[in-house]
Amino acid sequence: MNYDIIVIGAGITGLSSAYHLKKRNPDAKILVVDKAGTYSQGNTAKSAAAFRDFFSLRENQIMAQASIAFYKNLQDKQGIDIGMKFCGYLFLFDHEKDEKFVSKYPNSRIITEDLSSIFNVNIDSETRKIMNIDSIKTAILDSNAGIIEPDLLSKYFYDQITSMGVDVRFNTHVKRLGLEPDVSLDYPGEPFNWQKSSIKYIETDREKIYGDFFILCTDVWTTALLDPVGIDSHLRPKKRMIFQVTSPGIREIINKNIFNDSGVFPFTIFPTGVYARPYPSAGAFWTSLADDINRDFSFTEHPEPEPEFYSYNIKPIFDAYFPAFQNSKITSSWAGYYSYNTIDFMPYIFNALNMVIVSGTTGGGIMKGDSIGRIVAARYKNEAYTTLYNGEKIENTYDGYYRTTKIEDMIL
């Protein structure tokens, strides 16, 4: 069977891409394939499952804001439970931030309420010296932020695409992309450089599946598929670990209104980057740290969490700043990968041959997932712009990536 479009990967970006492709091309025969037994079993399932629009780059803000608005409409207007809770992101800084800084983030405010009943805001001199940390000088809350359930969000997209007639094949491992000349001479060694060539099929562990166009939403597995055909994936893998931690103090505060009215403690990011993501149903926090330095770019199929990483890199920060973690214990842990675009940590979406490749989401696949799907659908049709859910338009450049170098030119 020959498909018009084959989407490789059934994580959040693959499902969103299939959804928007089918909506805009209702007569197209579309297939989604994934090596797992069901959808969103890769790094989507291993993420912190949160969302925010607090980004230094305007492009990230635009994509996140549009996706958040789409998700909010699903839950509030359409009544589809995706576990979305606007508990906010609380950023704790060990240096001063002023109103001029906050003005760049329309949904944020400087916290003027007393923090000392929740956090240790004053760090003693010995701890400052030993740990290279300082007292909390500023706290900023992003209110257009919170937590979400990736399985519920993924289920929405999956239910939509299957109801629209998209074919899905699980337990199907794509081993390679079949690059062939458009006009074959049946000569050994084809394709040659002077022949016009394209991807004709995917070779799986079961069979060859032919298609006219291909969408790669394969996260950190993208490089293995693109390297043999000489296309750069523009990503590097970084292992990330999450530890579920609870304590009597955590259970006491986790379902309280702290600087919000959601009934859930805000997602909190401490100096040095350690974060505490609320998981209220278990009376726990998920904690992690994006440890760039001294974390190599190696990749294994089944990464394992490292308890000593929590003990020596994360727990000391909580001991210094967060009394609720006293007498805490790890109740669960897991590991996955960020697909890092190491240049600017932006999602990297580009055309190559008869493909659109979603690369380098850098841990933001869920919070920008709907916008990414819309960009893919627009690039499939070679459109000059992508219109996002909230009406914002993004220019689709075709010089290797989807964004321009001038941010102000990109946003219309």
Spell out, as residue ranges, where the chain has pLDDT lower than 70. 399-412
Q: What is the pLDDT of residue 378?
A: 97
63: nearest Cα among 360, 265, 291: 360
* Eight-state DSSP code of residue 194: T
Find all residues with CB under 8 Å of 410, minimum gap 6, and list them: 58, 59, 394, 395, 403, 404
Collapsing DSSP to helix, strand or coil, 196 comes out as coil
One CATH from 3.40.50.720, 3.50.50.60, 1.10.287.1770, 3.20.20.70 for 2-49+151-235+343-395: 3.50.50.60
Using only C-alpha atoms, the chain has a radius of gyration, in whole angstroms, of 22
Residue 376, H or E segment: helix 369-380
| Domain ranges (residues) in the chain | 2-49+151-235+343-395, 89-142+237-339
Other residues' Cβ atoms within 10 Å of the Cβ of residue 119: 18
Q: Which residues pair with 109 in a beta bridge?
A: 141
310: tokens are 């929590």
Place of tokens 């079993």: 41
**CA–CA separation, 292 and 300 (whole Å):** 17
Q: How far apart are CA 106 and CA 27, in angstroms?
A: 41
Instruction: Say what the pLDDT of residue 408 is.
Output: 33
Q: Return the pLDDT at 410.
A: 33
User: Domain 89-142+237-339 is of which CATH architecture?
Assistant: 2-Layer Sandwich (3.30)
Task: Report how far residue 157's alpha carbon sits from residue 20's, in angstroms, rounded to the nearest whole number.
Answer: 10
Contacts of 274 (CB under 8 A, 6+ apart): 287, 288, 289, 313, 314, 317, 318
- What's residue 399's pLDDT? 61
pLDDT value for 405:
31
What tokens does 54 get? 């607090």
